[in-house]
Amino acid sequence: MRGKNRTKSRVQAKVEHAMGVIKCVFGFTKVRYRGLDKNANRLFVTWALANLYLARRRLLRCQRA
């Protein structure tokens, strides 16, 4: 039971951190109704940018080497 909870907690921590970046850095706090396709597209792009934002130090370190 404890192992399952730890696994869930690790995944939740990673997702919650990324959601915090999306809300604070990119201002994705409220969603206007634009249609499902437009909102989904905007969300996918925002998640991709959040992944790049979170990996920026590793990417810059690789570029310098």
Question: Rounded to the nearest 5°, which phi and psi values hold at 29?
Answer: -95, -35
Residues 6+ apart with CB under 8 A from 47: 18, 22
Residues 6+ apart with CB under 8 A from 59: 52
Residue range 5-63, pLDDT digits in tens: 999 888 888 888 888 888 887 777 777 778 888 888 888 888 888 888 888 888 888 77
Give the Cα separation of 65 and 56 in Å (integer): 15
Prediction pTM value: 0.60
List the structure tokens of 17. 């951190």
- Give the start-to-end residue ranges of the domains of the chain: 2-64
Task: Reply yes or no on whether the pLDDT at 2 is more than 70.
Answer: yes
DSSP annotation of 35 reads -
Q: Sorting pLDDT into bands at 50, 70 and 90, what band is 65?
A: low
Give the pLDDT confidence score for residue 22 in this predicted structure: 81
